[in-house]
Amino acid sequence: MKINENEPFANGANPKKEQLGKYTSSDQGEPMTTNQGLKINDDHNSLKVGDRGPTLLEDFILREKITHFDHERIPERVVHARGSGAHGIFELYEPMGRYTKAKFLNNTDKKTPVFCRFSTVQGSRGSTDMARDIRGFAVKFYTEEGVYDLVSNNTGVFFVQDGIKFPDLVHAVKPEPDCEIPQAASAHDTFWDFVSLMPETMHNVMWLMSDRAVPRSLRTMEGFSINTFRFINEEGVSHFVRFHWKSLQGVLGLPWDEVQRIAGKDTDFHRRDLWDAIENGHYPQWELGVQIIPEEDEHKYPFDLLDATKIIPEELVPVQIIGKMTLNRNPDNFFAETEQVAFHPGHVVPGIDFSNDPLLQGRLFSYTDTQISRLGGPNFHEIPINKSIPEVTNNQRNGMHRMQINKGKSSYHPNSLGGGCPFQTMIADGGFHSYEERIDSAKIRQRSKSFFDHFSQSTLFYNSMDRHEKRHIVDAFSFELGKVKTVPIRQRVVNMLLEVDEDLAQRVGDNLGLQPERLGQPMTDDVPPDADPEHYYSTKSELPIAEAPSLSMATKLPADIKARRIAILTADGVADEVFTEVKKVLCELDAMVMVIAPKHGFVTTASGDQYMVDESLLTASSVLFDAVYVPDGGSARLLANHHAAIHFVAEAFKHCKPIAAAGEGVEILKAALPQTEFPAPGVSTDGDLLRFIEDIKKHRFWEREENPLPV
């Protein structure tokens, strides 16, 4: 292998200015091959029937690449290793027989059992919950027709368009292979190198840089199927469908500074929040919605329904709400259930089928393959958390960890010794029948030109953000790229941002000391010639809308304060009404109220009553709460001279949280925030409990970020 001695960032050396714009590689001149030494002509496109047709099983290059990728890590998941799960039920609002014959979507009297697993993508099982990352949102329905898995993410799109590129994406975003650094983070060279050379990633990167990638809790996330599926009704009529999970807790994010502090205070913050909410009877709920597109409208829109890097804006195709999921029981054993649950988008029931989305086609092979390594063989379906309600009867036998004991001497079909059993089921009796789609096309490795617009929807996403959301996106790009050591990679990403929004590119570039440059065809020396065939930048589509309000989290605030964590800052001498009125009212609204004091044990009120302390200022932190109440009483004088109490209030203010103080409690606010004029946004100084509750519903007062205080 040829070593380039002028590599500008070797061993952390300070590069010379003239080297920064030069593309270098230690692998120049080496052709890409399969594991058998066969030179690869196209590593960007799987083998399909036509440029929009299904992926072919004969694509040995795709299968070799994904098989190797699926088996790289044992025993934890290659991706989505860090997970949290819960049991629940799904209830249907209205029968969907017009679109699908799936029985669980046509019986409003039945409560379908479910198991839901949330997860981060990048990190290992032991990584933090608080990584800036996409979150998995997978639901297993235990239906009367078998298991149905709806495997979603909390972003509406994905990074790549073809399953053959998924291993490359994950290799790039995982810890770098030479040093295994950084864990559960995308702020490093290899990920952004990949992004800067694959423009199709930009739309999902915009979601990743938004507050959706740093959710307040797993309960306050939306879910998206990303891929386009099919509904098939009893008459065999097909409609395209995308699935949505709409959180009834609202959709809430956190500021990046707070996220980093939470990661240090409580690595299990999201996992603990979900567990505690369910244990306290605050069962999280999501409504299931569908976007349904008739078969004849497949080519109606200026984007391709088969392109997983594109949303179908709700403003163009409204989401029809059809049911509700309630998570009401925590697992009895984390390993047996949450760790061993196995999802697969190919686990469907009659009435649900697949589209030719090339990302989905790759997923349909990959999931079963990876479970074989992770769960010790082909019998993972027999693990209790994965078992279907209908009895499994087929001719599959043996294999590692076989639990089912089959009787009889025939394990083949057709047979006469077993009476012809198990028999095939007629379609009319519920036998699964794949949708009959006529395909007549050449067998090629090629991407449809309808997939080449990489930036129009990225722009739509950015235009749809509220003011504070745009600010957070700028800050996120600046932070992430600021961690990238290779300056040409930073420059390429900033240049790509020009295709999204000029102001965004200028602001990020200014933070990085770079000037955005609009690059055109042909590609410059900064870009390897095969980075993305033919179109490094992209074509541009005219979207019928300039903004999509449904994309902004600012429009999705909750209607109540259920399961919000509220800190009451106390000490000896606290006013009695805190416990007789304030805590009582907040708890009646299903908030999770905790008494915080300088030390553990009990606090004594002004009248001499004693109440137990939940956390001390040594173990608690404002970043673990949604709001702070500072009560009246002699406790205020004590807390106003307590450094940890002052920091608690000041930090909550910095992170834009609702704060209320009553009587002498205002003195603590003045001590913690000497430069602040009251009243301030989201700060109540008259102890008005109703106003405090309304402020909590608003989640954060982001305007405070525009004049930040040092904490």
Q: What is the pLDDT of residue 646?
A: 96
pLDDT band at 67 (very low <50, low <70, confident <90, very high): confident
pLDDT (average), residues 8-26: 39
Let me know whether 81 and 211 are in one domain: yes
pLDDT band at 44 (very low <50, low <70, confident <90, very high): confident
Which tens digit of pLDDT belongs to each residue from 426-451? 888 888 888 888 888 888 888 898 99
pLDDT band at 538 (very low <50, low <70, confident <90, very high): confident
Would residue 109 count as lying in a domain? Answer: yes
Separation in Å, CA 44 to CA 61, 358, 428, 532, 580: 11, 11, 41, 8, 65
pTM of the complete model: 0.90
DSSP label at residue 78: S
Would residue 87 count as lying in a domain? Answer: yes
Let me know whether 57 and 23 are in one domain: no
CATH number of the domain that 570 lies in? 3.40.50.880
Let me know whether 163 and 248 are in one domain: yes
Q: Which residues are catalytic?
A: 80, 153
Would residue 509 count as lying in a domain? Answer: no
Please spell the DSSP secondary structure of 297-314, one letter per residue: GTT-SSS-TT-TT----T
Let me know whether 375 and 337 are in one domain: yes
Let me know whether 686 and 605 are in one domain: yes
Which tens digit of pLDDT belongs to each residue from 215-270? 999 999 999 999 999 999 999 999 999 999 999 999 999 999 999 999 999 999 99
Q: What is the pLDDT of residue 504?
A: 98
Residue 545 has pLDDT above 90, yes or no: yes
Let me know whether 261 and 310 are in one domain: yes
Domain residues for the domain of 666 are 560-706
Q: Which of 386, 407, 422 is the last residue of a domain?
A: 386
Please spell the DSSP secondary structure of 148-193, one letter per residue: EEEEEESSSS-S-SSGGGHHHHHHHHSPBTTTTBSTT---SHHHHH
Would residue 402 count as lying in a domain? Answer: no
Would residue 71 count as lying in a domain? Answer: yes
Least confident of 402-411, 552-561, 616-625: 402-411
Contact 273, 217 (CB under 8 A): yes
pLDDT band at 18 (very low <50, low <70, confident <90, very high): very low
Which tens digit of pLDDT belongs to each residue from 89-112? 999 999 999 999 999 999 999 999
Which tens digit of pLDDT belongs to each residue from 640-666? 999 999 999 999 999 999 999 999 999
Q: What is the pLDDT of residue 691?
A: 96
Please spell the DSSP secondary structure of 452-477, one letter per residue: ---SHHHHHHHHTS-HHHHHHHHHHH
pLDDT (average), residues 170-189: 96
* Euclidean distance between CA atoms 272 and 129, whole angstroms: 10
pLDDT band at 530 (very low <50, low <70, confident <90, very high): low
Residue type, 161: Q
Let me know whether 19 and 76 are in one domain: no
> Whole-number mean pLDDT of the chain?
90
* Euclidean distance between CA atoms 561 and 692, whole angstroms: 11
Let me know whether 620 and 702 are in one domain: yes
Q: What is the pLDDT of residue 75?
A: 78
Let me know whether 78 and 26 are in one domain: no
Would residue 128 count as lying in a domain? Answer: yes
What's phi and psi for 246, nearest 5 deg? -105, 115
Residue type, 700: R
pLDDT band at 1 (very low <50, low <70, confident <90, very high): very low
Structural domain count of the chain: 3
Would residue 680 count as lying in a domain? Answer: yes
Would residue 499 count as lying in a domain? Answer: no
